[in-house]
Structure 1
Amino acid sequence: MPPFQQVCQILRTTLGLSYQPLTEDTPLLGAMPELDSMAVANLIVALEQYYGFEVRDDEISARHFATVGSLSDFVASKLE
């Protein structure tokens, strides 16, 4: 499954979004009330567990959580 589709699934599961439509342009941080600081931490853990990579503290940036597309791009960059 491409990173974008899997990132959408992980977002839905972690944030309890059920079947909310998500596109690359769907805003996240600051626009989605479910995505608070604790949810960001849980989301990072879920991504690390699913993909088997580690996100260092210095890699965590609001720009990666701006949209579903920017988060997916961040995941893709970690997989390279």
Structure 2
Amino acid sequence: MTVDSTLRALLADVLGLGEDRAATLAADSGLFGELPEFDSMAVATVLTEMEDRLGIVIDDDEVDGEIFETYGSLLTFATRKVAG
């Protein structure tokens, strides 16, 4: 699986979006503040699932609001972390 497909599956599961809706997320699709399912509680779960599913470690000082603005920004962050 690619980082993109893993991230889409993760969001489908954690946010309850379903695979079809997660598949329609574009780089500029808004997340936090745009999707009602993506609230502050979901942020912690998404981060934990990213660590588990992508085999990465996310330090607290790496997390800021910009990461969750759009699907593209979250994907960029995840891809950068996987690349090490």
TM-score calculated relative to the size of structure 1: 0.92
Structure 1, gaps ≥5 residues long: none
CA–CA distance in 1 between the matches of 2:58 and 2:37?
A: 21
Other structure's SS at 1:28 match:
coil
Summarize the alignment of residues 1-80 of structure 1 with structure 2, pairs less than 5 Å apart.
1-18=1-18, 19-20=20-21, 21-80=24-83
Between Structure 1 and Structure 2, which shows a larger proportion of helix residues?
2
Any conservation in 2 of the 1:14–1:43 contact (CA below 8 Å)?
A: yes
Q: Tell me the percent identity.
A: 36
Q: Which is bigger in relative contact order (C-alpha 8 A, separation at least 6)?
A: 1
Structure 2, gaps ≥5 residues long: none
Offset at residue 5 of structure 1 (A): 2.1
TM-score calculated relative to the size of structure 2: 0.88
